[in-house]
Amino acid sequence: MQITFAESTLPKEGAIVVGVLEGRVLTPTASTIDTRTNGALTRAIAASHFDGQKEQSLILLAPSGLSLTRIVLVGLGKAAELDALALEMFGGLAMSHLLAAHDTMAAVMVDAIADAPLPLATMAAHITCGARLRTYRFDKYKTRKTDKEKHSLQELQIRTTDFSAACKAFDPLNKIIDAVFLARTLSSEPANVIYPESFSNEVCHLKKLGLSVDVFDEHKMRQLGMNALLAVGQGSARKSLLIVLRWLGATDREARPIALVGKGVTFDSGGISIKPSASMGDMKWDMAGAAVVVGVMQSIAARETPINVIGVVGMVENMPSGTAQRPGDIVTSASGQTIEVLNTDAEGRLVLADALWYVQEHHHPVLIVDIATLTGAIVTALGAHYAGLFANDDVLADKLRAAGEAVGERLWRLPLGDSYDRQIESDAADMKNTGDREAGAITAAQFLQRFVSHSVPWAHLDIAGVTWSKQDTVTVPKGATAFGVRLLERFIAEHCNAQEVSRPKERDV
Ligand code: BES
Ligand code: MN
Ligand code: ZN
């Protein structure tokens, strides 16, 4: 589907979307149409529960006096509350109706609204963003689609007065959406298609954006002492890999980078501690953290963000076999700390332990954020509404939380502490890889913290509950959500802004 920007005149064909503010207040285009149709809009609204609130909509078919197929009225809520997120919801809701209809052409009319906080072009850009986010689908393996399953919409026009400014404002958002879609696709692909090597082939395509991509094979990882990561992959016929992506966008190419670390378990059967079969298929998306890191790297490169960022993803397949690790095995991680592997299904932390250690030792980051589908316990605690946030630094935690709120990817912080850390003490090694059932998400984070230096701000995002959705939401169709791409992109952009603000001051002194 094509998304285009055009002048604010009424189109002659197809469907159109117009906004209505809370309290049944028609936007300028809505009232023009109302006049042209002898009050059809006012009458339809009066006969319905629709009163312009957010997430409300009302559809009018084949209005007389106009050659349009349908008019989709979408609630804008209160003008003063029309922030980026509200506008994305508007766009996403509009798109959900357009996709359900049969039109090939549709237009969203974006009018200036008194008291709205954002400039018109920015408003149009966010509406477009919400609309495009909703169009994602992973259907490449469906060879026989019913008419209902096919999208008939070919073109969406965003009609607004300064449409070239709107188009320009949409460009950076469009690049973030490309990254979201990449992460959604990587997560959706089954494990016979996406395994460490094929994943790394996809990542290598990003070199054309100016990213450097290094792929470490098992031999190289053994040299680096990454026995914890390697132990997870040793039962699989697929070779494990560590992928290091680098974006050097800062004027000082030597400046210490921000580090992102992702869990890339391309399939998690549980290993010898095998999972029950019921929803084992879900574990094809146990590499979503890695997919998010790759998505963020793509978007910051595409946007030429002026900062240095390093992304590290540990890619392994966790399988039971004659060569698989056994419960009770003790491995020596790259950090030198030994781990008693009591449950081979607690594998993500083993992968992250070595990846976290590697990035600190070799790249000296200013801060580290890791992202992983780490525990079922976080799903029990927070469900699909928040991802778990753990951090050794309050400032970092607050910044991540704020970035998440701004883009609609919400985080809830959970505690860390010595009493939890004691739960992973082992009789035989420096630590064991599982605590008891209590506080499972926290003990997993506690495990990771043992591989992070006290002096570096670090945060861990447990996305196990939010990375796959069972139902459509306004801007996220069901399936892979790519939760984290927008949040981390936003966090990094804000970090850059803060640096720019502080730089002139440094020069003064
Ligand atoms: N990948 C899973 C966590 C997971 C569970 C993600 C459900 C998404 C949905 C992880 O590797 C795992 O198996 N964790 C175990 C840890 C336990 C053995 C300590 C868990 O949470 O059950
Ligand atoms: Mn597991
Ligand atoms: Zn896992």
Q: How far is the CA of 417 from the centre of ligand 3 (A)?
A: 23
- 144, 165, 186 - which closes a domain: 165
- How would you list the strands of the sheet with 431-432, edge to edge? 329-332, 338-341, 431-432
Task: Over range 180-204, report the average pLDDT.
Answer: 98
Say whether 162 sits in a helix, a strand or coil: coil
- 139, 165, 191 - which closes a domain: 165
What CATH number does residue 48 fall under? 3.40.220.10
Domain-embedded: residue 170: no
Residue closest by Cα to atom 13 of ligand 1 = 345
User: Which pLDDT does position 503 carry in this prediction?
Assistant: 67
Among all ligands shown, which has an atom nearest to the Cα of 373? 1
Say whether 276 sits in a helix, a strand or coil: coil
Q: How far is the CA of 163 from the centre of ligand 1 (A)?
A: 48
User: Which pLDDT does position 47 carry in this prediction?
Assistant: 97
Share of the chain above pLDDT 70, in %: 99
- 134, 165, 196 - which closes a domain: 165
CB of 122 shorter than 6 A to ligand 1:
no
Say whether 493 sits in a helix, a strand or coil: helix
- Tell me which amino acid residue 326 is: R
**Average model confidence (pLDDT) across the chain:** 97
Q: How far apart are CA 449 and CA 443, in angstroms?
A: 10
Domain-embedded: residue 437: yes
478 lies in the same domain as 401: yes
Cα angle value 396/402/404 (rounded, 5°): 105
User: Which pLDDT does position 329 carry in this prediction?
Assistant: 98
- Tell me which amino acid residue 416 is: L
- Tell me which amino acid residue 300 is: I
CB of 343 shorter than 6 A to ligand 1:
yes
- Tell me which amino acid residue 455 is: S
Among all ligands shown, which has an atom nearest to the Cα of 341? 1
**375, 431, 443: residue to mutate for ligand 1 pocket, most atoms within 8 A of CB:** 375
State which ligand 1 atom lies nearest to the alpha carbon of 374.
3
Per-residue confidence at 502, pLDDT binned at 50, 70, 90?
confident
- Residue 162, C-beta contacts closer than 8 angstroms, at least 6 positions apart: 120, 121
387 lies in the same domain as 440: yes
**229, 325, 345, 442: residue to mutate for ligand 1 pocket, most atoms within 8 A of CB:** 345
User: Which pLDDT does position 504 carry in this prediction?
Assistant: 60
CB of 347 shorter than 6 A to ligand 1:
yes
Q: How far apart are CA 199 and CA 242, in angstroms?
A: 11
Q: How far apart are CA 115 and CA 445, in angstroms?
A: 45
- Parent domain of 16: 2-165
Burial of 264 (0-12, 13-18, 19+ CB in 10 A): buried
Among all ligands shown, which has an atom nearest to the Cα of 320? 2
User: Which pLDDT does position 242 carry in this prediction?
Assistant: 99
Domain-embedded: residue 508: no
State which ligand 1 atom lies nearest to the alpha carbon of 467.
8
Half-sphere exposure of 151 (CA within 13 A, CB side): 19
CB of 373 shorter than 6 A to ligand 1:
yes
pLDDT tens digits, one per residue of 455-499:
999 999 999 999 999 999 999 999 999 999 999 999 999 999 998
Q: How far is the CA of 449 from the centre of ligand 1 (A)?
A: 18
What CATH number does residue 286 fall under? 3.40.630.10
Domain-embedded: residue 279: yes
314 lies in the same domain as 428: yes
Strands (E), 95-240: 105-109, 155-159, 212-216
Strands (E), 162-304: 212-216, 241-248, 258-268
Domain-embedded: residue 172: no
Q: How far apart are CA 312 and CA 345, in angstroms?
A: 22
Share of the chain above pLDDT 90, in %: 95
160 lies in the same domain as 88: yes
310 lies in the same domain as 417: yes
Burial of 376 (0-12, 13-18, 19+ CB in 10 A): middle
CB of 375 shorter than 6 A to ligand 1:
yes
Q: How far is the CA of 362 from the centre of ligand 3 (A)?
A: 26
pLDDT of 505 higher than 90: no
Main-chain dihedrals φ then ψ at residue 331, nearest 5 degrees: -120, 150
User: Which pLDDT does position 98 carry in this prediction?
Assistant: 97
| Residue for token pair 């850390």 | 421
Say whether 59 sits in a helix, a strand or coil: strand
User: Chain centroid to CA 166: how far?
Assistant: 24
Q: How far is the CA of 333 from the centre of ligand 3 (A)?
A: 18
What pTM was computed for the model? 0.97
Nearest to 70 by CA among 41, 113, 49: 41
| Residue for token pair 């073109």 | 155
CB of 440 shorter than 6 A to ligand 1:
yes
pLDDT tens digits, one per residue of 361-413:
999 999 999 999 999 999 999 999 999 999 999 999 999 999 999 999 999 99
Tokens standing for residue 29: 């285009």
- Tell me which amino acid residue 97 is: H
Q: How far apart are CA 162 and CA 158, in angstroms?
A: 11
CB of 172 shorter than 6 A to ligand 1:
no
Among all ligands shown, which has an atom nearest to the Cα of 377? 1
CB of 165 shorter than 6 A to ligand 1:
no
161 lies in the same domain as 276: no
CB of 377 shorter than 6 A to ligand 1:
yes
Domain-embedded: residue 509: no
State which ligand 1 atom lies nearest to the alpha carbon of 433.
19
Domain-embedded: residue 171: no
Active site members: 275, 349
Instruction: Give the number of domains in the chain.
Output: 2
86 lies in the same domain as 150: yes
266 lies in the same domain as 374: yes
User: Which pLDDT does position 151 carry in this prediction?
Assistant: 86
144 lies in the same domain as 200: no
Main-chain dihedrals φ then ψ at residue 171, nearest 5 degrees: -50, -50
125 lies in the same domain as 194: no
pLDDT tens digits, one per residue of 312-367:
999 999 999 999 999 999 999 999 999 999 999 999 999 999 999 999 999 999 99
CB of 365 shorter than 6 A to ligand 1:
no
Residue closest by Cα to atom 22 of ligand 1 = 376
pLDDT of 232 higher than 90: yes
Q: How far is the CA of 294 from the centre of ligand 3 (A)?
A: 18
Q: How far is the CA of 283 from the centre of ligand 1 (A)?
A: 9
Domain-embedded: residue 435: yes
pLDDT tens digits, one per residue of 296-313:
999 999 999 999 999 999
144 lies in the same domain as 194: no
Q: Where are the alpha helices (DSSP H) in 269-428?
A: 288-302, 348-363, 376-382, 394-407, 418-421
Range in 38-52, 74-88, 493-507 the model is least confident about: 493-507
185 lies in the same domain as 304: yes
Nearest to 263 by CA among 285, 246, 231: 285
